[in-house]
Amino acid sequence: MASIAQGLDGRSMSIGRVFGRAFGVMGDNPVAIFGIGMIATLPQVALAYAALNLAGPGNVDETGAIIVSSIGVGLGSIVCLLLGQGALVRATVAYSEGGRASFGESVKAGLLRMLPLLGVLILTTIGMMMGFLLLLVPGVILFLMWSVAIPAVVEEKQGVFAAIGRSRSLTRGARWKIFALALVAVVLLTLLSALGTGLLAALYGLEGMDRPTIAWAIVNVVTSLASTVIWCTVISALFVELREWKEGASADTLQQIFA
């Protein structure tokens, strides 16, 4: 991994600023941010809820139900998460420039870039999977290199290969810090998941945690929503931080500062 370099103004990429920007946009524009998060979360939870019902006791063809529902969950998750990530990029960048992107504007940004987003997802997933098969480390390095390819697709209108190259360029010199950032985010999301699991265990006991009840659905919606929003806004905020670190503040940001 590359060593940590200095930006144009002599400062280094800051993990604190990334989290500050991510949580800042959540607090400043909660309706749009969590509305977008619901788009990315509800279909996944609904499909998982249906899968548990289909595969429950009394179903003759449990294996077939699980396979069919799993395919539905996978395809729905891909589309919804891509749309959510794309929309949250627009909302986060708008916040960083002193503005506020509406729910409609943010979703439109994700929809308009859906095909290149899908292309980036496919290529980077294949590359990282191959890397993880090679003793894990190459996969981690590729994740760090390509971590902001999706924001580059949405905000800079980059094509698939250009976005991957743009991400490689922006992350160069900061990949150890991105690694630390990802670890902090993973720990935070793990704690959220453990909180939801603990709540379900307290309600139903260890054997009833996967029972498809209304409480199960509510807990999973809340934890999945929080996890999706946090991860997507952190990645979007990372893109903004890296771009400002490498290239300086945008014209829109400077205009807000000196307005």
- Cβ atoms within 10 Å, residue 4: 12
Predicted local distance difference test score (pLDDT) of residue 3: 40
* Tokens encoding 138: 């190459």
Beta carbons of 160 and 118 less than 8 angstroms apart = no
Beta carbons of 41 and 225 less than 8 angstroms apart = yes
Per-residue pLDDT of the chain (259 residues; tens, 9 = 90+): 444 445 555 568 899 999 999 999 999 999 999 999 988 887 777 666 666 666 555 554 555 555 655 565 667 677 888 899 999 999 999 999 999 999 999 999 999 999 999 999 999 999 999 988 877 788 899 999 999 999 999 999 999 999 999 999 999 999 999 999 999 999 999 999 889 888 877 877 666 566 667 777 788 888 888 999 999 999 999 999 999 998 876 545 444 433 4
pTM over 0.75: yes
Beta carbons of 150 and 185 less than 8 angstroms apart = no
Beta carbons of 69 and 55 less than 8 angstroms apart = yes
Amino acid at 77: S
Which of 21, 10, 1 has the alpha carbon at shortest distance from 174? 1
Alpha-carbon distance of 125 to 74, in angstroms, equals 14
Q: What kind and span of H or E run contains 214?
A: helix 214-247
Long-range Cβ contact pairs of 119-127 (< 8 A, separation 24 or more): 119/160, 120/149, 120/150, 120/153, 120/160, 120/163, 120/164, 121/78, 121/82, 121/150, 123/160, 123/164, 124/149, 124/164
Strands (E), 13-71: none
